[in-house]
Amino acid sequence: MTATEDLFWYTNPGARAWQTTQLGGDAHAFHRGLPGYLPTPLVEISALADELNVSKVFVKDESSRLGLPAFKILGASYAISRALSKRFGYADEALPLRELRDRLVDESVRLVAATDGNHGRAVAHVARDLGLPARIFYPASLTVAAKDAIAKEGAETVEMDTSYDELVAAASESAQREGSGAVLIQDTAWPGYEEVPRWIVEGYSTLFAEADEQLLEVGIDRIDVVVVPVGVGSLAQAAVRHYRSIPHPPVILTVEAERAPALVASLHAGRSVSVPTTDTIMAGLNCGTPSAVAWPSLFAGVDAAVTVTEDESAAGVGRFAELGVDAGPCGAATLAGARSMLIDPVRRAQTLVRADAVLLLFSTEGSAANPLPAPVVTVDVVPS
């Protein structure tokens, strides 16, 4: 395994040779049973293919997912069902939410989570549907829109002027104090807390199952590059588990905020490390430590990792908007990351991406989830 000298770029030439198994469970069947379930759009954008000098670019648009403007409810809903089903003696099942709601009438259970935006709102949303209270911890730096959205789901909110890692610790301590009266639904893992994060990762598998089906519908039976944003790495873990278990594994590119480069720093170190972070418009990526259950898969199976700046993410939001895709900064980070890799001839050569490549970008949130702050000005990113 080799790494470049650039601390904001990493490559692993052996990643595509690494193989693993599909994620367990049947999250896709569970999600199909939720009221209002529909696959999110897969959009082909020829203009981006021209700009990036590839054959085709597809964008999986998560700006509207089960009534929320981000993909996170896929993991939250499935993990909540698995955790509550286990309480009722169904350790290997994800009972339908309507059945759980009936069973919970005489139960007193609070759902607890820490969030940098979308995960907490998703947990609060499912809690409301189940008739349960929720307590959501979030950072003071979270946008007003995101704070309001969580509150409107009926959750008790706890604002702290601290890092994401410390928020997670506070949420964990809160749940522990309530004992069996609370369930921590956290999307990152640490020693001793791994089951729920694994269920969340399994929940994200629906995203990739949908994309496979949609690509086949338009005659695409293989892709060459997959681009996913990274906070703690749970979505990227789901991507690695999916795409490293198929016959023609693509390049997997992960994208982080330059102000929160936990994964790329860990990859360079060869072990999971924590890094200091600062506020970023990519709020959902503002995490300082990779998830413990995600790290082994990411270390083995990620081909390339890159960070993007605030301006690059904002430019991605603007370019997506011009092309009809509603994206927040985390979703647009995938476009910025793909551009960073493919426009640079050295990086492109390192990842062996040819001009006939097919790209798949996962735009994980809409602008309603995380609007650009007013001072951020987008710039033209179309090559002259």
Q: Of 56, 60, 61, 72, which residue is the catalytic one? A: 72
**Residue whose pair of structure tokens reads 């062996």 in the numeric block:** 352
Size (the chain), residues: 384
Is the CB of residue 339 less than 8 Å from the CB of residue 309? no
| β-pair type (358-363, 225-229) | parallel
Helices (H), 42-158: 46-52, 73-87, 97-103, 118-130, 144-152
User: d(Cα 242, Cα 23) in Å, to the nearest integer?
Assistant: 7
Classify residue 279 as exposed, middle or buried by CB count within 10 Å of its CB (0-12, 13-18, 19+).
middle
The token pair that represents 365 in the structure block: 């949130």
Q: How many CB atoms lie within 10 A of CB 10?
A: 25
Residue type, 54: V
Is the CB of residue 329 less than 8 Å from the CB of residue 281? yes
Does the annotation mark 116 as catalytic? yes
What distance, in Å, lies between the first and last C-alpha atoms of the chain? 36
Closest Cα to residue 57, out of 326, 372, 376, 323?
Answer: 323
Q: In what order do the strands lie in the sheet with 156-160?
A: 156-160, 134-139, 110-114, 182-184
User: d(Cα 306, Cα 324) in Å, to the nearest integer?
Assistant: 25
Closest Cα to residue 141, out of 123, 116, 124?
Answer: 116
Does the annotation mark 212 as catalytic? no
Q: Of 56, 60, 61, 116, which residue is the catalytic one? A: 116
Is the CB of residue 312 less than 8 Å from the CB of residue 292? no
User: At a CB cut-off of 8 Å and minimum separation 6, what does 271 contact?
Assistant: none
Residues with active-site annotation = 72, 116
